[in-house]
């Protein structure tokens, strides 16, 4: 396989990753890193560097479209981004002190967790009194649903903020958008509707990734020849996903996605335990 063919295959795989990441809110990094390391035998840290660039592209491609359609809650995203950015800086700092094999095992565990989150049925938030902190910060919102606007009121804001810090650490350490944890914080912990959680997660992962991408760039782990096809492929997939999501039934897609990343998780853990990186 020559350089041109390799670049095209990487771009094609990145397109699929961007499409799935945009539709599920999990971020394309959960596919990009295993794809580059297991299929194309790229060094793990260079794969993480390219993945962080692709995560920024995913966010840039999908966030504008979701905001225009009225799904993303920017106030929620920017507030929770304080926690994820602090966590991302901590995660990027830890990369120099954690062996690559250990990172691979942790990444595999995160993939398994993401698969479990993806396979679960959509969470219907229970009714409850408005959250005082959400009211003070004006985090309440509405989104289009069946030709009308459906209002929602976030709850348990401190819990969601804490979970977001963990999401940021995983993003910086593993080179992923940690969208599964972000969606969990908004959907399960804060009671925000799933489509709003997914689209707001897509907006947030780019900011989180940008906080740690600079650290990888300074250390020389971002290779332009690798990052460019990954970024372009993911961006194209994210733009297509943003057009599909409003009318899509996501249950089948979530199930297929969870099976695929669970298989990748098992292989990543096995290779990490075998010190294959």
Res 11 pLDDT > 80: yes
Single out the residue of 234, 236, 264 nearest to residue 174, CA to CA.
264
Answer yes or no: are the C-beta atoms of 24 and 179 closer than 8 Å. yes
Distance CA(56)–CA(274), nearest Å, equals 31
Domain boundaries, position 259: 3-273
The dihedral through the CA atoms of 73, 76, 79, 85 has a sign that is negative
Cα distances (angstroms) measured from residue 205 to each of 27, 39, 96, 239? 7, 25, 22, 15
Structure confidence at residue 276 (pLDDT): 54
Split at pLDDT 50, 70, 90, the class of 245 is confident
Distance CA(273)–CA(119), nearest Å, equals 26
Answer yes or no: are the C-beta atoms of 88 and 212 closer than 8 Å. yes
Res 233 pLDDT > 60: yes
Structure confidence at residue 97 (pLDDT): 80
Choice between 98 and 48, residue whose per-residue pLDDT is larger: 48
Which phi and psi angles does 219 have, rounded to 5°? -90, 0
- Mean of the per-residue pLDDT values of the chain: 80
Give pLDDT tens digits for 27-79.
Answer: 667 778 888 888 888 888 898 889 888 878 777 666 677 777 788 888 898 89
First to last CA, the chain: 22
Split at pLDDT 50, 70, 90, the class of 10 is very high
Single out the residue of 197, 170, 232 nearest to residue 80, CA to CA.
197
Domain count, the chain: 1
- pTM of this prediction exceeds 0.75: no
Torsion of CA 152, 184, 24, 193, to 10 degrees: -10
Answer yes or no: are the C-beta atoms of 183 and 102 closer than 8 Å. no
Choice between 18 and 125, residue whose per-residue pLDDT is larger: 18
Percent of the chain with pLDDT over 70: 84
Res 271 pLDDT > 60: yes
């Amino acid at each position: 396989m020559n350089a041109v063919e390799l670049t095209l295959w990487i771009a094609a795989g990145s397109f699929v990753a961007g499409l799935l990441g945009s539709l599920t809110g999990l971020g394309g990094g959960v596919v990009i890193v295993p794809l580059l390391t297991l299929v194309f035998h790229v060094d793990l840290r260079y794969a993480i560097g390219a993945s962080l660039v692709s995560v920024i592209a995913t966010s840039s491609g999908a966030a504008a479209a979701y905001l225009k359609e009225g799904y993303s809650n920017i106030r929620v995203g920017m507030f929770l981004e304080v926690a994820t950015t602090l966590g991302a800086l901590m995660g990027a700092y830890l990369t120099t002190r954690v062996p690559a094999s250990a990172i691979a095992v942790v990444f595999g565990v995160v993939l398994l967790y993401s698969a479990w989150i993806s396979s679960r049925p959509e969470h219907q938030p229970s009714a409850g009194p408005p959250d005082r902190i959400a009211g003070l910060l004006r985090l309440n919102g509405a989104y289009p649903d069946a030709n009308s606007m459906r209002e929602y009121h976030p709850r348990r804001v401190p819990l969601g903020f804490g979970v977001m810090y963990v999401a940021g650490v995983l993003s910086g350490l593993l080179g992923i958008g940690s969208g599964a944890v972000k969606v969990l914080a908004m959907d399960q912990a804060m009671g925000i509707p799933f489509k709003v959680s997914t689209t707001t997660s897509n907006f947030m992962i780019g900011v989180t990734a940008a906080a740690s991408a600079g650290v990888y760039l300074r250390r020389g782990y971002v290779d332009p020849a690798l990052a460019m096809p990954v970024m372009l492929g993911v961006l194209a997939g994210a733009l297509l996903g943003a057009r599909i999501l409003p009318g899509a039934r996501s249950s089948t897609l979530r199930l297929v996605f969870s099976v695929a990343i669970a298989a990748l998780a098992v292989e990543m853990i096995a290779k990490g335990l075998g010190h294959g990186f």
